[in-house]
Amino acid sequence: MQTIRVDTPSAKYDVVTGSGLIGSLVPRIQRASGKLPRRVFVLTSPEIWALWGNEFLKSFSDPPVTLFLAPGEKHKTMQSVEKLLRQMVAAGGDRGSLLIAFGGGIVGDVGGFLAAIFMRGIQYVQVPTTFLAQVDSSVGGKTGVNLPEGKNLVGSFHHPVAVFADIDVLGTLPDRELRAGLMESIKAGIIRDRSLVRFMEENVNEVLGRNPKALEKVIAASIRMKAGVVNRDERENGLRMILNLGHTVGHAIEQATRYKALLHGEAVGWGMIAALFVAHRRRSITGAQAARLENLIHLYGPLPGLKLSARKLAAATGGDKKNVGGVRRFVLPIGVGDAGVIEDLVAIELDAAISYMLSQAKETRA
């Protein structure tokens, strides 16, 4: 079991990763928040609750009010948020209530947003159940929902009082979900931790085979990297933007496919390949480094094939949240273990990167 501290100007909390956490939540939450309030809500999905609900309830003398969010990005909307808020009111929620987000990244994002706006803000706890949520989305206080025009365009920064990432739940995670989540760990290594890149290269079978020690190593290293960045730039005014490597094109892929074809991590995997192309062209990485990192992405694939128009995909990147005042911001790796943000990406570069990426995606389909 490992504990990583998040220490920002507005929030300080622990991210705990290890085994056996779900069955002992109450004492852990009490240590983190000081008490367990009268009204506790848990937001989850029907599938996760069916698998892990009994284990979750073990430490509760009074069961929490259960709120359900159907799976899929199509339910990550303001309509879902309003419905859930009204259920919380009907169940007697107040400013002293606590919400536990128990599920994958979508549940975590929506749960955090609910906690941020209900009664102008209540405490919440993240209990992520997918690999991607454990290593990335549960940490750092970003919450939000989608609009038809783009992903995560409505939201707020609202930190949890604690994060409990139980490795045991990964035993029921489908292989595709695990591989998709590992793309965020590859991203973590590329932008900030070359030793994580090396470990993932040398331990592919152990990681994909769900060896507990290998998984804990990757999860803890990924969380530690993100916590370090968030501690230095809580509100994404500078350094934290590097956490979006692969996300500009990745979010565009999700939007262009209406969130139906790829998992988030898979889209980010393709987005990183596009970013590596630009980085190689700009000589912030060598050809050998680009080939090495592309190979690592494919080792943890396979990434699903894509059948998209390059023009449509390039247009979809215009809604990226990093763009401000007409300036297109794009994250590029600098060697292995570092990254930066450029503001002078031109259309011809983006088009070339997307065309290269789609040529690989076409080969994957074939």
The residues that are catalytic are 120, 142, 184, 226, 236, 240, 244, 247, 251, 264
User: Residue 254, annotated ligand binder?
Assistant: no
Flag whether 280 is marked binding: no
CA distance 2 to 37: 27
* Nearest-angstrom CA–CA distance, 92 and 38: 10
Does the bond joining 302 to the residue before it have cis omega, within 30 degrees of 0? yes
158 annotated as a binding-site residue = no
Cβ pair 223, 322 in contact under 8 A: no
Residue 130 annotated in ligand binding: yes
Tokens of 198: 């090396």
Residues ≥6 apart with Cβ < 8 Å to 108: 101, 126, 128, 133, 137, 138
Check the annotation: does 184 bind a ligand: yes
Which of 226, 105, 191 minimizes the C-alpha distance to 155?
105
One-letter amino acid identity for 206? E
Q: 234 labelled as ligand-binding?
A: no
- Give me the amino acid identity at 88: M
Tokens of 71: 């799976």
Q: Name every residue whose Cβ is closer than 8 Å to that of residue 5 and which is 6 or more positions away in sequence.
A: 12, 13, 14, 15, 227
Structure tokens at 339: 């990254």
What backbone torsions phi and psi does residue 72 show, to the nearest 5 degrees? 110, 145
Binding residue per annotation — 286? no
Which residues, in sequence order, are bridge partners of residue 126? 101, 163
* Residue 307 β-bridge partners: none
Q: At what angle do helices 247-256 and 347-365 cross, to 10 degrees?
A: 60
Whose CA is closest to 128, among 119, 136, 118, 120? 136
139 bridge partner residues: none
Q: Give binding residues for Zn(2+) as ranges.
A: 184, 247, 264
Q: Give binding residues as ranges.
A: 129-130, 142, 151, 184, 247, 264
Q: Give binding residues for NAD(+) as ranges.
A: 129-130, 142, 151
